[in-house]
Amino acid sequence: MSEKEDYAIILDYLPNGYPLGGRMSPIAQAVGEKNMSLLELVPRRGVTLESKEKVYIGPDKRDKIYYISGRLPREKITETAKIQLQEFITNLVAEQEKKFVDFFNNAPAINTRLHQIELLPGFGKKHMQEILTERAKKPFESFEDIRSRVSNLPDPKKAIEKRILEEFLEAQRFNLFVK
């Protein structure tokens, strides 16, 4: 089991709960910082939350969050939350470039017919072969390094961002980044 989240980033705050939801209690849609899990959070009484706000959801006393209601189902994600999620992913991939470049350096085949690299939007067998050839010579050091060494490659940073968003918003047969 993956370790529990200590912090979450608020994607959307619904002070009156979901439209047509019946219950009129406030709810926040958030993404866990560590495991990138989508969560529904119930704020403490009288607390207002802002988009992009980082809130503590760990085991100790929480100042703003009363409890974690559970995972946020894909079909409940609001449009505002989707926009914030996109921004969160862009920042995350930029901040953790090394981790995502290491994906290109270490990604294994899933089975004899399919490689993890091929699951990235715009990457096919040919790109995958070139990446494997180049990484065997010398590990990639940055997204820029990948682009300069593999010809006609879609932007690796954008491809990773797009893949993470797809894993959040649509059921995937294989998840590379989102738990």
Neighbours of 81 (CB within 10 A): 24
Contact 85, 165 (CB under 8 A): yes
**What is the distance between the alpha carbons of residues 59 and 157, in angstroms, rounded to a whole number?**
34
By three-state DSSP, how is residue 115 classified? Answer: strand
Q: What pLDDT is recorded for position 64?
A: 97
**What is the distance between the alpha carbons of residues 2 and 159, in angstroms, rounded to a whole number?**
25
Convert the pLDDT of each residue in 105-127 to its tens digit: 999 999 999 999 999 999 999 99
For the ranges 2-11, 27-36, 152-161, the lowest mean pLDDT is seen at 2-11
With bands split at pLDDT 50, 70 and 90, how would you rate the model's confidence at 22?
Answer: low
Contact 16, 24 (CB under 8 A): yes
Question: Is pLDDT at 2 greater than 60 in this prediction?
Answer: no
**What is the distance between the alpha carbons of residues 178 and 53, in angstroms, rounded to a whole number?**
21
Helical H runs in the chain? 79-95, 97-106, 125-137, 143-149, 156-169
Comparing 70 with 22, the larger pLDDT belongs to: 70
Question: Is pLDDT at 21 greater than 70 in this prediction?
Answer: no
**What is the distance between the alpha carbons of residues 83 and 128, in angstroms, rounded to a whole number?**
30
Taking alpha carbons only, the member of 4, 68, 16 closest to residue 41 is 68
Q: What pLDDT is recorded for position 179?
A: 76
Convert the pLDDT of each residue in 90-110 to its tens digit: 999 999 999 999 999 999 999
With bands split at pLDDT 50, 70 and 90, how would you rate the model's confidence at 20?
Answer: confident
Domains of the chain: 7-76 (2.40.50.140), 96-169 (1.10.150.280)
Q: Which residue type, as a one-letter code, is found at position 133? A: T
**What is the distance between the alpha carbons of residues 135 and 86, in angstroms, rounded to a whole number?**
29
Convert the pLDDT of each residue in 23-74 to its tens digit: 688 999 999 988 899 999 999 999 999 999 999 999 999 999 999 999 999 9
Q: What pLDDT is recorded for position 1?
A: 43
Contact 72, 40 (CB under 8 A): yes
